[in-house]
Structure 1
Amino acid sequence: MSATENEGSSARLLPWTSPDGKPCYVVGDGTGYVWRMADDVECVQLGMADDLLGHADALLAEDRATGAELRYLARRLVESLRDVRRVAESRGGRLARRSEDGASLRRV
């Protein structure tokens, strides 16, 4: 029996990639160190995305934002959107598995 076949275990997409850009996963029941660290990293990423939205609103409200400032903002927004998408994919996958296991959630 493999780890993913153990009752209560599932593979989770982590909020970071390998050095060569490939997805990283952890298999477990949600109580291990790496799983908790992934929760913490996701919280930081979502908080940073929220902060970045505030900075973007403020910068775009100014009529004097330079091209360099706008390019910098665009790069940070792309990074943030990539992080948030990865969090959504990870959480969506876990919700779908929970639904398949008989929970009342349905996949959208």
Structure 2
Amino acid sequence: MTTLRLLPWTTPEGNPCYLSPDNDESRLSLLADDVEEAQLHSGEQVLAGSRAVLADAQAGERAVRFALMRAVESLGDVLRIAASRGARIQMTDCRGE
């Protein structure tokens, strides 16, 4: 049973991209790993920045909206990564590895 790997980016039209998991060391697979790592790091930074904005009673509407927009983008990235990694864990469990 082979499940395609959900990649951490979409087509220009917003459709998901997939990769055959035959080679975890392929260039595209390693690139996807690097992009996921960068997205998770960015999410940590966005979380810290959003918390700072929310803690600032003087923060204006623009700052709050910007923080929320970035948080929503990061949440979308993290959910995509979680779905991709969850599918790969299930696939590994099915193969008995």
Normalised by the length of structure 1, the TM-score is: 0.84
Count of aligned positions: 96
Deviation at 1:26, TM superposition (A): 1.0
Runs of 4+ in 1 over 3 A off after TM superposition: none
Offset at residue 10 of structure 1 (A):
5.0
Which residue of the partner structure matches residue 14 of structure 2? 21
Partner of 1:106: none
Higher relative contact order (CA 8 A, sep 6+): 2
**Any unmatched runs of 5+ in structure 1?**
104-108
Within 2, Cα distance between the matches of 1:45 and 1:32?
A: 20
Question: Which structure has the larger Rg?
Answer: 1
Show the 5 A alignment for 1:1-108: 11-27=4-20, 28-103=22-97
The structure with more helix, counted as a fraction of residues = 2
Structure 1 vs Structure 2 CA RMSD: 1.3
Distance of 2:35 and 2:49 partners within structure 1: 21
Q: State TM-score, norm by structure 2.
A: 0.93
Cα distance in 2 between the residues matched to 1:95 and 1:79: 25
